[in-house]
Amino acid sequence: MQRKSFEGMNCSIARALEEVGEWWSLMIVRECTQGSTRFEEFQKELGIARNILTVRLEKLTRLGILERFALEERANAEGYRLTEKGEELYPVLVALMQWGDKWLYCGGKPSVELVEDATGEAIQPITVQSKGGRPLSYREVRFSSAAGATEKTDRVIKRRNGLVLKTAELSTPQRKTRHRE
């Protein structure tokens, strides 16, 4: 069964899932944050089939999330490491980990605690925050049109804000550049 492509959707979440929505992709990124660089390391740590790993590594490299680099310890061999784009997925992994620790951990206790290397202190939970640092739920955040919005986006924003915030959206701010749907 072919999965639906989100490629044409004007939604950052959908576009992000198009690139890293397959669970093996995020698990490979996780392995990179844990120091894995070689094909054999990814395969051993994840228990992933070689053919699937090959396809995922190629895709993550093509998308600019991973890059190949020459391994010093092995002649004519390459490893994989995160690019800047890939490193910026780290907060996503930490947020998933923190959510899993709260709602899904086994044996009553999380297995890993993240601490700042320099101080040894536990990191703060990742939250959506106000400018002043107050945690916000989705019920406290208003969507607003940005430069890349389409007329469909404006309708989605108006509907979302009305349903979630229980307010009537009277108008949507006009943008200087409007893209077609």
Among 36, 56, 87, the domain-final residue is 87
Amino acid at 129: Q
pLDDT at residue 72, rounded to an integer: 86
pLDDT at residue 7, rounded to an integer: 73
36: domain CATH number?
1.10.10.10
Tokens encoding 90: 């780290």
Dist. CA 94–CA 4, nearest whole Å: 27
| Predicted structure pTM score | 0.84
pLDDT at residue 6, rounded to an integer: 75
pLDDT at residue 1, rounded to an integer: 52
Amino acid at 119: T
Neighbours of 125 (CB within 10 A): 12
Type and span of the H or E element at 159: helix 151-165
Pair (16, 80) in one structural domain: yes
For 10, 59, 130, 136, 162, the CA distances from 142, given in Å and listed in that order, are 18, 35, 12, 11, 10
C-beta separation of 162 from 169 below 8 A: yes
Could you give the number of structural domains in the chain? 2
Pair (134, 67) in one structural domain: no
pLDDT at residue 180, rounded to an integer: 45
C-beta separation of 92 from 86 below 8 A: no
Amino acid at 10: N
pLDDT at residue 74, rounded to an integer: 78
pLDDT in tens, the chain (181 residues): 556 777 777 888 988 999 898 999 999 999 999 999 999 999 999 999 999 999 999 999 999 999 999 998 878 889 999 999 999 999 999 999 999 998 887 777 888 999 999 999 999 999 999 999 999 999 999 999 999 999 999 999 999 999 999 876 544 454 444 444 4
pLDDT at residue 170, rounded to an integer: 47
C-beta separation of 53 from 59 below 8 A: no
- Asked if residue 6 is part of any domain, the answer here is no
Sequence-ordered alpha helix ranges (H) in 4-49: 12-20, 23-33, 39-46
Residue 72 belongs to domain spanning: 12-87
C-beta separation of 57 from 66 below 8 A: yes
Tokens encoding 11: 């939604």
- Asked if residue 28 is part of any domain, the answer here is yes
Pair (80, 17) in one structural domain: yes
